Structure 1
Amino acid sequence: MKRETTKLGLSLDQTAAQPYYRQIYGRILGAIASGVLKPGDRIPSARALTQELGLARGTIEAAYSLLAAEGYIQARGQAGTIVTPGLKLRARAPSAPTRAQAIAPPSFRPDSVLPFQMGLPALDAFPRKIWARLGARSVRSMQPADMAHPSVFGLDRLRAQIAAYLQVARGIDCSPSQVFVTSGYRHTIALIAHALLKAQDRVWLEDPGYPPTRDVLAHMHIKAVQVPVDGEGMVVAHGIKAAPGARAAVVTPAHQSPLCVSLSLPRRLALLEWASASKAWIIEDDYDGEYRYASRPLPALKGLDRDGRVLYAGTFSKVLFPSLRLAYLVVPNALVERFEQISHAFAGSSSGFTQSLVSDFMEEGHFARHIQRMRKLYAERREATAAGLEGVLGKYLNIDPQPGGMHLVLRLRGRRSDRGVVARMREDGLYGEALTDWMARGSGPSAVLLNFTNIDSQRTAEKLALRILARLRP
């Protein structure tokens, strides 16, 4: 028979030869050693554990006394008992990965913060004090109505702020009713697919292109038509030849993901003409269109749409931070009712509190100022990172010239495998992504994708480049 606590997963075995106090001691020590309980974490009081386990208080206190005597926990009076701050234990040797774990590809995106990690803005430069002040004010002013279910379309204030921002910054004329707030890019793509597509429909995708797009559509049994990308972006003529009757095309016209080239004006017009003639949809993924360094940011493709064929997908992950889980979709006027119906059916919007906080951030002008600062900072960090990498690694690679974006494309010379280089970098605590992992067939030119937004100087880039160099040499 076993008694369990849900807090610590504590289980006591009445049939074991080991006394209860030793079992409790061993379970808590194991939780500390494995990291489930961390230094400074509070553990249940002896009285609470007595009630939960139905044991004599002296039994619990005996276990706690032993843990305290060995320095693992500290009693803090009314503040309770905590794991000793600053406690350092030797890490347990990791168990051998299973075959499935060993071959599993890295996730898009991992929950880590590593040098060169893709998909992360400059977290060190985010105005956390302003954010904290606005958050505290929102909590203090919270009313019962704010605690009810949020609108499945998104908070009205936020939809209005997004519409106003897009009008000025991205050249998109839309009303708040056309804006649908989502919990991220995948949610946006799924929402579009549910509203406009069906199983076995064909959709143009860029090749190379963002892998999660392929994954989401594949799970919905929608067929991807891979369209190559060159120096002018998606080769529209290839898409028309391969699948003229496709129901949609997903494009990243501002900075192609991952090559960072811009879709040329002739191809933008050709894409719009095809969509209009074929009654197809264009899904514009403008994931980091704000960050262009060669000139002012290009207007969105949506701004050229005269026939209501473009759906515009934006995100706060790149301009604020990813843990917000906040994105948005702008649909043509004729589709508003359809998307309202689908939003009601799936009800996947983000936290109302988070939306309110972002609304305040935008209303008070912090959002626009933050983007302006980041555009200047990223231009500096891009130049510094490229210089640092080229100074150390120039013999082994070339860095693509590109007008904007948040990452660099490093073309490997010789016959080096980008996947091999990336795997060795990760062994050293560095992050990179292999361009071949973004190719539909998993093969193609060998290149490594490195984010530069969190590299604070050329010196830092040089130090990290030396670590990469050790992984490049035979």
Structure 2
Amino acid sequence: MEPVFPFSLVLPRGRGTLAHALHQQLRAAILDGRLLPDAPLPATRKVARGLGVARNTVVGVYDLLIAEGYLIPRKGARPVVADLSRRRRNRASKAVPGSEAPRFAPIWRTPFLLPSPARVLPERNFRLGIPDHRHFPHDVWRRLMAQTLRRSSREPFAYAPSEGIPALREAIAQHVAFARAVACTADDVVVTSGAQQAMDLLARLLVTPGQTAVAVEEPGYPPVRAAFAAAGAQLLPMPVDEEGLCVERLSPDVRIIVVTPSHQSPTGAVMSLRRRAALLDFARRHHAVIIEDDYDGEFRFGGRPLDALQMLDRDDLVFYVGTFSKSMFPSLRKGFVVAPAWARGGLVTVKHCTDSHCDTITQSALAAFIRDGHLARHVRHMRPIYAERREALLDGLRGELAPWLEPIPSEAGLHLAARIREPERASRLLPTVLRFAPGAESTADYAMTHDIAPAVTFGYGVIDAHAIAAALKDMRRALEKSGGL
């Protein structure tokens, strides 16, 4: 048979089945994209001759596909393939909000768990949690990835350990010991697909649905709340001030406390040594555990950092969670948990059941990147760059915007928050601030309740110092023009 389509057709020899088989195979080719939208089909005579079938059979199949909407007829010309993506878009646009209710588990219909709509931002913006790609050693990373790929092609296929390959766990243990004074060995480390998976695994391991009370920061990082809420935890929002989580407000029935002590998300506050000691004492007395989320603690701009909770812990109560999304890049999707000895086996079991293992190619490359000193050098290189941007932001907040905003003390990370000096004017001031600082966020977006002081959080990971200064000047002029709101 002469090939008339860019794929093979298998046609049985039988009157009743031939047309049906041709119809089904052409329909499948349209649906899976082998016949592209707006492409004209071959003439019926050519198809009949090439397939060795009667022309009337082909005409009947074309007519049926037209009737079903898979082909579009054209007067005096061959029919063309319909663009089914338009049909799918139209169907999606007609979906009624909430129509998924009977199918989704109730927790995933909770408003504070729903993702924020995607925003189109300029390249240089105030978005939170994004590091600057322009200064990353891409050539080094490409070389290490190439070496890993060449080596892996000579090794037999195998499943990696669920807890992560030994080389990466050893590298992580050395890195956190050097960068954050976290006391651990490779055996204590479980590699995860980012910090978010680490939180999900810990929630699965530690939460008894409907019973376990989990204290979370208010305001706090929504995906962390989502992980524990989805596991069936009772979430207890705890207020945060300039010393971090207010430990004295914790309820005695709390069994898990999730905190960001080094750089609170989103206010940027650092938990004081007094509060750290009080939190560890609370956990010991009430048989609770602490999950310490140190998502961007490598970038310090003040004096000597306070010891991590994990380092101060003497009772094996702290799970230390870290990530490479801020120190390297988000799409790497590598995080880790430093777990107490009593929890390691259970954590690895949960990891094995939910994800088997993280990919070994990037694990191997990351291990070499850390082991050869590239991560430490990159962090050292980026620290003064981010420090300059942070100072530009602080200068603008203390100068240009001092009548309206007051910066919250912070000495680490890639974002800085500022309180609105007159909370009663927040609803009128916020739209102007956010318009001139694209990517910045209201801390209200991080809250479960409405009982928080209004503030704005500015990221400075991808915006240069001069652009920060210019944006804040424009913001000040707009606020003055509006009469100070």
Letter in 2 for 1:387: D
Residue of structure 1 equivalent to 2:216: 205
Aligned to 2:32: 6
Match of 2:452 among 440, 444, 455: 444
The aligned residue for residue 433 of structure 1 is 441
Where does residue 301 of structure 2 map in the other structure? 293
Match of 1:18 among 56, 71, 74: 74
CA deviation map 1:34-75 (0-9, x unaligned): xx9xxxxxxxxxxxxxxxxxxxxxxxxxxxxxxxxxxxxxxx
Residue pairs, 1:459-470, within 5 angstroms:
459-465=466-472, 468=475
Residue 23 of structure 1 aligns to a residue whose secondary structure is strand
Kept after mapping to 2: 8 A contact 1:325/1:350:
no
| Distance verdict in 2 for CA 1:17–1:466, change over 3 Å | farther
Structure 1 residues 296, 376: CA separation in 2 closer, same or farther (over 3 Å shift)? farther
Residue of structure 2 in register with 1:223 after alignment: 234
The one-character-per-residue Cα deviations of 1:217-254 (angstroms, maximum 9, x if unpaired) are 12222011122112211111111xxx212111111111
Q: Which moved more, 1:419-428 or 1:134-143?
A: 419-428
Residue by residue, what CA displacement relative to the aligned partner does 1:92-125 show, whole Å, maximum 9, x if unpaired? Answer: xxx8998679xx8883795976500111012222
Change in CA separation of 1:426 and 1:5 when aligned onto 2, cut-off 3 Å: farther
Q: Give the TM-score normalised by structure 1.
A: 0.76
Deviation at 1:421, TM superposition (A): 6.0
Tell me, in whole angstroms, the C-alpha distance in 2 between the residues paired with 1:373 and 1:97.
49
Which has the greater radius of gyration? Answer: 2
Q: Identify the match of residue 341 of structure 1 among 349, 352, 372.
A: 349
The CA deviation string for residues 324-383 of structure 1, in whole angstroms up to 9 with x for no partner, is: 111100101122222222222222543211111111111111011111112221111111
Cα shift at 1:409: 1.1
**Aligned match of 1:252:** 260
Q: Conserved in 1, the CA contact under 8 Å of 2:299 and 2:412?
A: yes
Percent of aligned pairs sharing the same letter: 33
Counterpart mapping for 1:355-394 below 5 A: 355-388=363-396, 392-394=400-402
Aligned to 1:164: 174
SS at 1:118 equivalent: coil
- The change in CA–CA distance for 1:388 and 1:308 in structure 2 (over 3 A counts) is same
Mean Cα displacement is larger for which, 363-372 or 170-179? Answer: 170-179
Q: Is contact 1:421–1:471 with CA below 8 Å preserved after alignment? A: no
- Cα distance in 1 between the residues matched to 2:206 and 2:324: 24
Q: Give the 3 Å change call, closer, same or farther, for CA 416–141 of structure 1 in structure 2.
A: farther
Preserved contact between residue 121 and residue 320 of structure 1 (Cα < 8 Å): yes
Segment drifting more, 223-232 vs 417-426? 417-426
Q: Distance in 2 between matches of 1:398 and 1:408?
A: 11
Answer whether contact 2:207 2:231 (CA < 8 A) is retained: no
In the alignment, the residues of structure 1 paired with residue 240 and residue 327 of structure 2 have an alpha-carbon distance, to the nearest angstrom, of: 26
Gaps of 5+ in 1: 37-94
* 1:424-455 Cα distance to aligned partner (Å, 9 max, x none): 67778921211112222034322111101212
Equivalent pair of 1:418/1:435 in contact (CA under 8 Å): no
Task: Return the offset for 1:181.
Answer: 0.8
Cα distance in 2 for partners of 1:167, 1:110 equals 37
Question: Which amino acid counterpart does residue 255 of structure 2 have in structure 1?
Answer: R
State the Cα deviation string for residues 10-29 of structure 1 (Å, max 9, x = none).
357535432676735x859x
Q: Distance in 2 between matches of 1:404 and 1:416?
A: 30
Deviation at 1:415, TM superposition (A): 5.2
**Post-superposition CA distance 1:291-327 (Å, at most 9, x none):** 2211133321100111100000001111111111111
5+ residue gaps, structure 2, are 1-22, 39-64, 100-110
Q: Which residue of 1 aligns with 2:194?
A: 184
Change (3 A) 1:246 1:391: closer
Pairwise CA distance, 1:150: 2.7
Alpha-carbon distance change, 368 to 406 in structure 1, aligned in 2, over 3 angstroms = same
CA RMSD of aligned residues (A): 3.4
C-alpha separation in 2, matches of 1:154 and 1:111: 35
Q: Does 1:269 align with 2:277?
A: yes
2 CA distance for matches of 1:422 and 1:139? 49
Q: CA deviation at 1:471?
A: 6.7
| Partners of 2:203 and 2:227 within 8 A in 1 | no
* Cα distance in 2, alignment partners of residues 408 and 210 from structure 1: 15
Secondary structure at the counterpart of residue 10 of structure 1: coil
Residue type at the aligned position of 1:464: A
Map Cα deviations across residues 102-157 of structure 1 (whole Å, 9 max, x no partner).
xx888379597650011101222211121122222222222354753332111211
Q: Note closer, same or farther for the CA distance 1:462–1:296 as it changes in structure 2 (3 Å cut).
A: same
Alpha-carbon distance in structure 1 between the residues aligned to 2:36 and 2:267: 51
Change beyond 3 A, Cα 1:378–1:307: same
Shift of 1:166: 1.5
Aligned partners of 2:401 and 2:316: how far apart in 1?
47
Equivalenced residues, count: 406
**More off after superposition, 218-227 vs 393-402:** 393-402
**1:309 to 1:146, Cα distance in 2 relative to 1, 3 A:** farther
Moved more, 244-253 or 295-304: 295-304
The secondary structure found in structure 2 opposite 1:462 is helix
* Cα distance, 1:427–1:255 mapped onto 2, change above 3 Å: closer
Provide Cα deviations, 1:155-202, integer angstroms capped at 9, x if missing partner.
211111001112222112212121111112221112112212211210
**Partner amino acid, structure 1, of 2:32:** T
Give the 3-state SS of the residue equivalent to 1:250 in structure 2: strand
Give the structure, 1 or 2, with the largest relative contact order (CA under 8 Å, sep 6 or more). Answer: 2
Distance 1:421 1:161, change over 3 A: farther
Q: Give the whole-Å Cα distance in 2 for the aligned partners of 1:463 and 1:98.
A: 43
Give the residue type in structure 2 aligned to 1:14: I
CA 1:410–1:429 in structure 2 vs 1: closer, same or farther (change >3 Å)?
closer
Summarize the Cα distance change of 1:425–1:414 in structure 2 as closer, same or farther, 3 Å threshold.
Answer: closer
Task: Rate the CA distance shift 1:204–1:318 in 2: closer, same or farther, 3 A.
Answer: same
Matches within 5 A, 1:111-122: 114=122, 115-122=125-132
